[in-house]
Amino acid sequence: MRGKTFKGGIHPPYNKQYSKDIPIEVLDGAKEMFYPLSQHIGAFAEAVVNVGDKVFCGQVIAKAGGFVSSNIHSSVSGTVTAVKPYPHPNGTEVMTVVVENDGQYTTHESIKPNKPLEQLTPAEIVEIVKEAGIVGMGGATFPTYIKLMPPKDGEVDCVIVNGAECEPYLTSDHRVLVENTKGVLDGLKIAMKALGVTTGYVAIEDNKPDAIEIMKTFAQEYDGITVVPLKTKYPQGSEKHIIKAVTGRTVLSGGLPSSVGCVVINTDTANAIATAVTTGMPLISRIVTVGGDAIENNKNYKVRIGTPISFVIECAGGFKKDPSKIILGGPMMGTAVSNTDVPIIKGTGAILSFTDDALIETASSKCMRCGKCVEACPMFLQPFLLGAYGKKDDIDKMKELNVMDCIECGACSYLCPGHQNPLQYIRVSKLKIGKAGKK
Amino acid sequence: MNLLKVSAPPHISTKNDTNVIMLDVIIALMPALIVGAYVFGYRAVLVVATCTISAVLFEYLWTKLMKLPTTIGDLSAVVSGIMLGFNLPPTAPLWMCIAGSFFMMIIVKAFFGGLGQNIVNPALAARVFLMASWPTRMIAFVSPFAKVPLISKIDAVTSPTALSIIKNGLEGEIPTYMELFLGNVSGCIGEVSAIALIIGFVYLLIRKVISWRIPVVFIGVTGLLSYAFGGNNGLFTGDFLFSILSGSLFLGAIFMATDYTTSPMTSLGQYIYAIGCGILVFIIRKWGGYPEGVSYAILLMNVATPLIDKITPPRKFGRRKAQ
């Protein structure tokens, strides 16, 4: 089985063997649950509960604060004890609704199954997805309902479920594909109906043969859905590169996937869509991989959103070695956190804790122009030059070298034999250019 | 619990550091060194060792003098030193090895900014410097198994290389293909055995240190041009095998032309560079003053590399050619 792929990329040690065969366990919530008002790209949500209010599972506690924004729901039943700034995974403090969990998990009265899919119109589906607060759960957290609205700039003709999961250590999507195959396919079918398309793909890297096999068996009962094995390579799960691999189409610089007729949704997102449409339950939990060389037990958990990561780590047996870094998400693109009070939010796919042995090293030698970064860059940029001009803060030259096309996959920084970390300079320049553009 | 580290991603990196890559190159050079030592005796080892030790020492002294962080740990000086030794005849006096090392490490490398900044291959530039300064000592080749004395004054009978026999009509027996392939010929320490160099090449390919492009295209172009235009009896009468096995073509194409710093980045650029090297070697061998042209060919293409890089950038994902 030789999967489709793109040009460039890297092969880091995937280290998925630790948790890929561990079935998903369902975790209860912690005593105190934290719901930051920003769990998505776009405007903050606005809190609609006050201190002292009684809340229930699935109840809206914050309303979308704009077009690109999302509702936030309580994942437990209990009492609102505070609405205050609280540490957020992104390193800042963000206004957060704190709920004391009563341990009952009573469902809110508004949660009831929707009409069968056959009777739902595309507009109704979009509305359900919007109300359910579903965002891209691969980490980008873009509100999903916007993707499901037919775009103005072109015809969409296919929906791709992104089951690549190319980041090392992560196995949450893998477990969902294997254990909740039907949910993923239902979610894809619903998304296809919302967009009025008849072609759907489930794209899975070929290091998950069990997932490909079970998906192929189940997909036979769905019209127009094909399972596409992909070659195992990082960053295969990048939106532009999965489109390239599956359809052969190239998203032009600055373009959206819809400009080439594609909509890409994450595995767990598809599952969340299916749950919301069939049961009416909004997005209140997600699958999280717990791993890394400092953790006692590797796990795949179904975690209620808002659970502090310290609680999840304790459930996994705590640390066996003192961690020097804790990462939310994968080791290539995830966020390092400074403390374990931060909660699981909608985009948190993993909690990885590492000792120094597993981590990136600091700069050890100068750039010797080996060209490994150029060969690996999936956007065909020249990271060594971007790094050099970035150091000199030469923004014009950076623009000329198409720095804004960088998808920040980190392949260049991973491969650099001198650990020059060109991505850091690229990121700083992109921020500067972005700010200058807003003025 | 300790304070947690916080940094931007990526959080992991390859263990394939600069010194690991350099160590791979050193390992790949070993077969050729062993053959050199076998064919030319301990004297060859002494020459290579002198070059290597003095190269490391010059790099160390330079960083101390300039108050820079010491860079000898990246092993690039060791690689340069071995390469320089490989490019010398086994009769080379030790003071000449040290002079070559000085030129290589200080003038070619350190003056231009150290690792990754030099514009030409340091070992080759040093070889050319020695050629210009002490030409007769640089071509004092000896026949294989000539027993060069280790320390005492060297007056072993010199023996011309296969290429100079042909080019300059010198007296001597033209070696067979098998002798050229195995290394039973006169020449520089590291260049004599094609098979030893090919073993190193295969190792570098397996370890993904270099790609096949530059060596294969370089050697192929040289061989084809020699075959097509190198013969004395008209077109396509040249000797393909002889042209690629003789001289320092394998050493140059596998270990010198592939130097990261002085070769192009993209595959298209590498093809242009390798073809250029091949053409230049043929031209110098055919019409130039020297019997061997590999060093000059690579040096000339080294200085063309920034230009090649400029005209062959990778085509950006999602950008049309016109942009």
pLDDT < 70 stretches in chain A: 1-2, 152-154, 438-439
Grouping H, G, I as helix, E, B as strand and the rest as coil, residue B297 is helix
Pick the CATH number of A117-279 from 3.40.50.620, 3.40.50.300, 1.10.357.10, 3.40.50.11540: 3.40.50.11540
Q: Quick one: pLDDT band at residue B178, thresholds 50, 70, 90? A: confident
For B36-55, what is the mean pLDDT?
94
Quick one: fold of A29-111+282-358? Ubiquitin-like (UB roll) (3.10.20)
For B189-200, what is the mean pLDDT?
95
> Which residues in chain B have their CB less than 8 angstroms from residue A170's CB?
none
Does B9 score more than 50 pLDDT?
yes
Say if residue A235 is preceded by a cis peptide, omega within 30 of 0: yes
Does B157 score more than 70 pLDDT?
no
Domain range annotation of chain A: 29-111+282-358, 117-279, 372-438
Q: Quick one: pLDDT band at residue B288, thresholds 50, 70, 90? A: confident
> Which residues in chain B have their CB less than 8 angstroms from residue A379's CB?
316-318
Q: How far apart are alpha carbons A136 and B2 in whole angstroms?
A: 33
Q: How far apart are alpha carbons B278 and B296 in whole angstroms?
A: 11
Q: How far apart are alpha carbons B201 and A373 in whole angstroms?
A: 22
Does B168 score more than 90 pLDDT?
no
Does B153 score more than 70 pLDDT?
no
Does B103 score more than 90 pLDDT?
yes
Domain range annotation of chain B: 19-311
State the pLDDT at residue B321: 46
Mean pLDDT, chain B, integer: 90
B114 Cβ under 8 Å from any chain A Cβ: yes
Question: Token match 């070659």: residue?
Answer: A231
B265·A382 Cβ contact <8 A: yes
State the pLDDT at residue B322: 38
Closest Cβ opposite residue B4 in set A253, A324, A365: A324
B122 Cβ under 8 Å from any chain A Cβ: no
State the pLDDT at residue A101: 96
**Residue A62, token pair as written in the block:** 């914050």
* pLDDT single digits (tens) A27-51: 999 999 999 999 999 999 999 999 9
Does B189 score more than 60 pLDDT?
yes
Does B323 score more than 60 pLDDT?
no
Looking at A91-211, which runs of residues are DSSP E strands?
A: 93-101, 158-163, 199-205
- E strand or H helix at A262: strand A262-266
**Alpha-carbon gap: A171 to the closest alpha carbon of chain B (Å):** 17
> Which residues in chain A have their CB less than 8 angstroms from residue B122's CB?
none
Share of chain B above pLDDT 70, in %: 95
B114·A366 Cβ contact <8 A: yes
Pick from A244, A356, A370, A384 the residue to mutate for testing the B interface (most B CBs within 10 Å).
A370
State the pLDDT at residue B140: 84
State the pLDDT at residue A438: 67
Residue B253: CB atoms within 10 Å = 29
Closest Cβ opposite residue A324 in set B5, B315, B317: B5
pTM for the predicted model, two decimal places: 0.90
The length of chain A is 439
A427, amino acid identity: R
Question: Token match 């002079």: residue?
Answer: B99
Termini Cα distance of chain A: 51
A243 Cβ under 8 Å from any chain B Cβ: no
A380 Cβ under 8 Å from any chain B Cβ: yes
* pLDDT single digits (tens) B53-73: 999 999 999 999 999 998 899
Residue A422: CB atoms within 10 Å = 26
A436, amino acid identity: A
B69 Cβ under 8 Å from any chain A Cβ: no
Closest Cβ opposite residue B12 in set A337, A338, A360: A360
Residue A258 contacts residue A152 (beta carbons within 8 Å): no
A318 Cβ under 8 Å from any chain B Cβ: no
A414·B20 Cβ contact <8 A: no
A contact residues 409-438, partner B, Cβ 8 Å cutoff: 410, 413-419, 423-424, 427
**Residue A85, token pair as written in the block:** 């700034």
Vertex A66: Cα angle to A62 and A72 (nearest 5): 25
**Residue B258, token pair as written in the block:** 């592939």
Pick the CATH number of B19-311 from 2.10.25, 1.10.1060, 1.10.3430, 1.10.3470: 1.10.3430
